[in-house]
A and B are shown apart, each in its own frame.
Chain A
């Protein structure tokens, strides 16, 4: 019943124009990155599990404490618990972190089997998967950057202009009220989010990854200094990963909230339907 009324509702409402919004390179790189991030995240958690601690400084303290995070398990009153310690504050994270259930019984490991590739402990395979997708990720970024400079994606869609800053407060108010306008260009908040990802988080996660490499430390000694040590770089690498996970959930939420069909279509075929304008209304009422 609601279907019928919805259809008639739609028919009565003017439709906005369908435009070609996302070019092939933007769409392809988007999906290659999505696949890369999936494998990089899960293989990264596998690698983290080999030393489930994060330290600050050049080295890892074994005879002193410079860890800011530790995931492990220990016995409490004869019962095993999983714990996560952040800045000295311990939390019981049994079931997910430190101790998790599997069909074949409980496992004592930092991240659970459903969150790692491969599922069980296998650092070698985690590394193989991680470095393979890291190369594809970086290669795709270079291709994207070259094309986006050349085809105007960067200048047209991503760089914020004065009017974006002017419209920012209204855009925030619109987002808070879940009122989305599908315009020719990204909204100020959208631009901001994508710029943070493309020009802050992407370089940060690549450089902190390279800063952990003893080979790159010899090639580019400055790379250890800008992050304040190899172990700090490892910690920042992990935190940047967490920022990506947050971005992922916000990104998916926004796609769903703003109209999943239209948003998905624009990233698959490139076609995007704009919100009806006054002109469109005028067309209908004629």
Chain B
């Protein structure tokens, strides 16, 4: 009898310890990690570099993202993030159906050039049915048509020492003290020259709609949606993105997301 009492007491004691441990869960014990400048958080986010190197090693330069068939397109491409930029500059252009839009290519290039959408459309195009993966966890399959970024970069001549392609955009998701905070993104030269990296002007056989980034958005098929800048205003070839905005290489990167979004 006494042995049973003992084991029950042990049982209760262990149970109480377990409860105490589980009440630790969540709450706000680990909310210090929300602070983007916290040292522990910064140490943790540095494994993103390991993820980047490991995936690059496994996939090599030109491994392709899965391409699907027409029958896999079962719905429209869900728009997300900015879906309707309201800046004067963009609205003016949009009213003229982007007739006077020109994509500026500047920075570390031999021949800084600008392209109209028609000029890009006259270059060889690529069409691909791919899966768009949002960082939130959902995916949709759609058909994208555009000009391979490599072809455009070959025309302007990328200088040695240029390590990143910087996309500056018309849309601003937030307003800071010094005005609208415009979307921007950077990818490295391997992704920039990847055969599936295109400046898309068409979606599911239609001109790219405003909600999905008209007149141009980039497709970077081996990464998540936030790398694929919409409403592209200009492209700049840079050696580093340290001095661009908050220095993390993108709008969401500046707000705590990983620069390499292959995962």
Residues in chain A within 8 A of chain B (CB atoms): 2, 5-6, 9, 38, 42, 47-48, 50-51, 53, 55, 58-64, 112-120, 122-125, 127-129, 131-132, 135, 212-221, 224, 230-231, 234, 252, 255-257, 260-261
Residues of B within 8 A of A48 (CB): 137
Instruction: Identify whether the interface residues of A are mostly helix, strand, loop, or mixed.
Output: helix
In the complex, the answer to whether A215 meets B59 with C-beta atoms within 8 Å is yes
Nearest CB of B to A136, in Å: 9
Give B50 Cβ to nearest chain A Cβ, in Å: 6
Say whether B262 contacts A216, CB under 8 Å: yes
How far apart are A217's CB and chain B's nearest CB, in angstroms? 6
Which residues from B are CB-within-8-Å of A123? 135-136
CB distance from A37 to the nearest CB of B (A): 12
* Least CB separation from B13: chain A residue: A260
Is there an interface contact between A114 and B25, defined as CB atoms closer than 8 Å?
yes
Give Cα A260 to B15, complex, Å.
11
CB<8 Å pairs between A and B, sample of 27: A6-B6, A38-B25, A58-B72, A59-B140, A60-B138, A61-B75, A63-B74, A63-B75, A63-B76, A64-B74, A113-B26, A114-B25, A117-B30, A128-B258, A129-B44, A131-B47, A132-B47, A135-B47, A212-B133, A212-B137, A214-B262, A215-B222, A215-B223, A218-B66, A230-B133, A234-B137, A260-B14
Which residues of the other chain, A, contact B64 by a CB distance below 8 angstroms?
218
Interface residues on B, range: 35 or more
* B10 proximal to A (CB < 8 A): yes
Is B115 in contact with chain A by the CB < 8 A criterion?
no
| Other-chain contact of A260, B10, B72, B252 (Cβ < 8 Å) | B10
Instruction: A55 to B5: give the CA distance in the assembly, Å.
Output: 49
- Tell me whether B5 and A61 are in contact (CB under 8 A): no
Closest 6 CB pairs of A and B: A215-B262, A219-B59, A124-B256, A63-B75, A51-B137, A60-B138
Residues of A within 8 A of B140 (CB): 59-60, 62
Give Cα A117–Cα B40 distance, bound, in whole angstroms: 14
Q: Mark B120-156, 1 if CB is under 8 A from A, else 0.
A: 0000000000010111111111000000000000000
Collect the chain A residues with CB atoms within 8 Å of residue B92's CB. none
Of all chain B residues, the one with the shortest Cβ separation from A178 is B7
Residues of B within 8 A of A256 (CB): 10-11, 14-15
A230 touches B33 (CB 8 A): no
**Complex-state Cα separation, A107 to B44, whole angstroms:** 28
> Distance in Å from the Cβ of B156 to the closest Cβ of chain A?
27
Question: Given the interface contacts A58-B141, A131-B48, A230-B133, does A218 sit within 8 Å of B59 by beta carbon?
Answer: yes
B: residues with CB less than 8 A from A are: 1-3, 5-6, 10-11, 14-15, 18, 25-28, 30-31, 33-34, 41, 44-45, 47-48, 50-51, 55, 58-60, 63-66, 68, 72, 74-76, 78, 131, 133-141, 221-224, 252, 255-258, 262-263
Least CB separation from B135: chain A residue? A123
Given A6-B3, A231-B139, are A118 and B31 also a contact pair (CB < 8 Å)?
A: yes
**Residue B5 contacts which of A2, A116, A213 (CB distance < 8 angstroms)?**
A2
Chain A residues with CB under 8 Å of B1's CB are 2
Contact between chains at B31 and A9 (CB < 8 Å): no
Whether B28 and A125, one on each chain, are in contact in the complex, defined by CB atoms closer than 8 angstroms, is no
**Is the Cβ of B224 less than 8 Å from the Cβ of A214?**
yes
Least CB distance from A114 to B in Å reads 4
